[in-house]
Every structure is written in structure tokens, then in C-alpha cells.
Amino acid sequence: MRIIGIDPGKKGGVAVIDTVTGKASVYDIPIKKTTSGAKGHDDFLRKSMLRLLRKAAGKIWTDNVIVVIEEQHLFGREGRKSAFTLGVGWGQLLMAVDACELPYLAVNIAEWKHAMGLNSDKEYSRLRAIEWFPELANQLQLKKHHGRAEALLLACYYRDFILPGILKQNKGVA
């Protein structure tokens, strides 16, 4: 099975864990910086995300793939533009997953981080990911790689906490 973890956002990441081989890989959310407008902005690259998801799913495709996405929500202090940007990005990610016909599970941030023994400190998450996946240390070495790290840890959350319950349930049915 392949578990694809997605930490949404401009500084987010995508991670893939293959539960058969134990191999893992990490990527940045595909973003292009533009200079249009007074300040410029970041554009989510939809086609690049589709290609990334298809690559991550590999040849085994939908039967043995799950996408785990961190749920997005607004904090009370965020403005309308921020809310709109967050909503558009979230919708585009879900559309990319749907376009690839991949099943997904949206997970509450507090729920998965608590289960994994993490807190809101992104640097702590990055260091934990390096500790658990030393073979990916060079791809997680910079502080800006926290999105990759959190995507990886999100995939671990599914592997370690959700998947065992599903497998146990399925054994009881057979």
C-alpha cells in the first residue's frame, strides 16, 4: 500500500510511504511565484500536482493507495483574503486528488499531532521526521522543509494509527 500525506499550503509538502518496501519520499507542494500585482503572489500549480499525485500513486493506482490530507480551517484572526486563498488552495488540492480518482481522508490537525506526540512547533516536527527517517535527512535539512516533514508524519499517522484498525476490522469480517 502507498500512503500519500499532504500538508497543504504554500509551504506545504507531499510525502509517500510504501508500506510494502518501507521506502519513503518527500516533495514540496508545487508553487510558482509570480510578480503580477503590487506584491506578487504564489500560484498553486494544478497540473504539476496532478503529475505528482500520479507519480506517487505509481502503477498500483487506487486499489492500494490512500491520500491523507491535513484539514484546513481558519483561525479567528485571519482576514477575508486569507480565508479566500485558503479555501481556493484546499479546493484545488481536493480536486487534484479527485481527478486522480484516489481515495482520501481529511484529518484534524490536533488529532493527528496529538497521536504522534507532536505540538504546533514545525521545527520539532521536522526534527522528528529526520529522527524517524534518517535516509531522508538531506531532503529535510532546512527549516523551510517543515511542510515535507509534516506530510511525512501525517502519512505515518495513517500507517500507525488508522491502518491497523482497518486491517483488524477486515480480518473480523472475513
Domain count along the chain: 1
pLDDT of residue 131: 97
Tens of pLDDT, residue by residue over 89-133, are 788 889 999 999 999 999 999 999 999 999 999 999 999 999 999
Task: Give me the pLDDT at residue 42, please.
Answer: 59
Residue 44: which domain range? Answer: 2-173
**CATH no. for residue 123?**
3.30.420.10
* In the block, residue with C-alpha cell 529535510: 140
Inform me whether the pLDDT recorded for 10 exceeds 90: no
Are 116 and 153 within 8 A, CB to CB? yes
pLDDT in tens, 62-86: 578 999 999 987 666 767 777 777 7
Which residues fall within 8 angstroms of residue 3, CB to CB, at 6 or more apart? 16, 17, 19, 65, 66, 68, 155, 158, 159, 163
